[in-house]
Amino acid sequence: MTLEEYDSMFDITRGVYFALQEAAKQLTDGGRIVSISTGGTSMTIPAGGAYAGSKAAVEQFSNSLAKELGDRQITVNTVAPGVTDTDGLVLEQEEVDRLITQTPLGRLGKPSDIASVIAMLVSDDASWITGQNIRATGGIV
């Protein structure tokens, strides 16, 4: 990874930090915030240290914000998707097949799988869930 690539990755993380800060200002009491991380923060991924590190920062931003906004009944959580079948999946097919065999559910995630977790977290049913990192990984740990 070049310095420019590293800076670009952490520029996105910086953007998440300030977006969270603005959300905290704009949300009314009882609101919901959900950040997106990666299942890679709990798994060792070859050559993935910088990416996992940038997403781990997002997790910590969110955990801290959950404590800061709790008195306003605003929940803040993170969703950490596992390998999800999107156009952004840049793994060789052999690696994808290997990951599928490691997933107890025997498939890649779908965007709708991740969206369902987010929908649950923003619902009234999740009003007691805050400061959590929900790993939506199909069981890969």
51 included as an active-site residue: yes
The predicted-structure confidence for 98-109, as pLDDT tens digits, reads as follows 889 989 999 999
Write down the pLDDT at residue 131: 98
pTM above 0.95, yes or no: no
DSSP state of 28: P
The top-level CATH class assigned to 3-136 is: alpha beta
Nearest to 5 by CA among 53, 50, 55: 50
Q: What is the pLDDT of residue 50?
A: 86
* Residue 119: per-residue pLDDT: 98
DSSP state, residue 110: -
In the block, which residue shows the tokens 């890679």?
40
**Per-residue model confidence (pLDDT) at position 65:** 98
Burial 29-38 (b: 16+ CB within 10 A, else e): eebbbbbebb
The pLDDT value recorded for residue 9 is: 86
Among residues 85, 139, 82, the alpha carbon closest in space to that of 110 is found at 85
For residue range 7-64, list pLDDT tens digits in order.
988 899 999 999 999 999 999 999 999 999 988 888 767 767 888 899 999 999 999 9
Cβ 98 vs Cβ 38: under 8 Å: no
Going from N- to C-terminal start, the domains of the chain cover 3-136
Q: pLDDT above 90 covers what percent of the chain?
A: 70
Write down the pLDDT at residue 105: 94
The per-residue pLDDT for 99 is: 87
User: Which of 17, 36, 51, 131 does the annotation list as catalytic?
Assistant: 51
Phi and psi at 63, nearest 5°, equal: -60, -45
- Give the dihedral sign, CA 141/121/64/26: positive
